[in-house]
Amino acid sequence: MPAPSFYLIPGLGADERIFRNLQPLLQGTAVVLQWLTPYPNEQIDHYAQRMAQAVPTDQVCWVVGVSFGGTIALEICRIRAQARAVLISSIPDAESLPPLLRLVRATGIYKLVPPQLLKLFPRAGQWYFGIKNGEEYQLFREILRDMEPTYTRWAIHRLLHWDSTGVGRCLQILGTADRVFPPGPAPVDYLIPGGSHFMVLSHAPMIAQILNDLTATPQAASVVAWD
């Protein structure tokens, strides 16, 4: 049996650094897909086609997306029949957008607030994303420093106006303490107690175990209980 292949997509504004605790623990090949600069007014399906060029059309693989990366993972899996999407701290469809983000969409306030404003209030972002002091906060500050405003504004708009009609099945890993995409009434495949929106870093061993177990038993989709 060939070694499993993972394609990792970071969250909005993040890069391969977000996977630095997870990637070494994965059993198989793990490739981080880098964000591309969006074209003016580019639709999400066209953007996903460009991202998908790194994923062979006939390869059985797992496309693992964090936050907005989960949205792109689902879009890639629309056009890669052998790929399966795994969402970390993300939502499986547009109907799962939480109330706060629905309000942001309805008011259009995101159009008025420049994304780089968050750089001035990192502690507010720390609370919202559930980031601990120390290593996590340092990485968060680095990500904010390197955030590209054009891409970030595009990604926020596409997330808030995502048409998920006909999107395929996925496996969802959520944290119980996620303030961005909190668990709702819909069932979640894997629920990490205490996991925040930054849990791909803080709970990497737990997430790695889930992903590694999936490659051994691809049909597994039950809730994992952690001590």
Domains of the chain with CATH codes: 5-216 (3.40.50.1820)
Q: Provide the whole-model pTM.
A: 0.91
CA–CA distance, 61 with 86 (Å, rounded to integer): 10
Which one-letter amino acid corresponds to residue 94? A
Closest by Cα among 205, 199, 202 to 173: 199
* Sign, Cα dihedral of 171, 142, 147, 160: positive
At residue 223, the pLDDT reads: 34
At residue 1, the pLDDT reads: 54
Chain mean pLDDT for the chain: 89
Percent of the chain with pLDDT over 90: 72
CA–CA distance, 50 with 74 (Å, rounded to integer): 14
pLDDT in tens, 3-25: 789 999 999 878 899 999 999 99
Q: How far is CA 173 from CA 13, 24, 98, 221, in A?
A: 20, 19, 16, 10
At residue 98, the pLDDT reads: 93
E strands present in the chain: 5-9, 29-32, 61-66, 83-88, 170-175, 190-192
At residue 217, the pLDDT reads: 60
At residue 27, the pLDDT reads: 93
User: Which positions of the chain have pLDDT values less than 50?
Assistant: 218-227
Q: In sequence order, which residues have a C-beta less than 8 Å from that of residue 162 and are 6 or more positions away?
A: 44, 71, 94
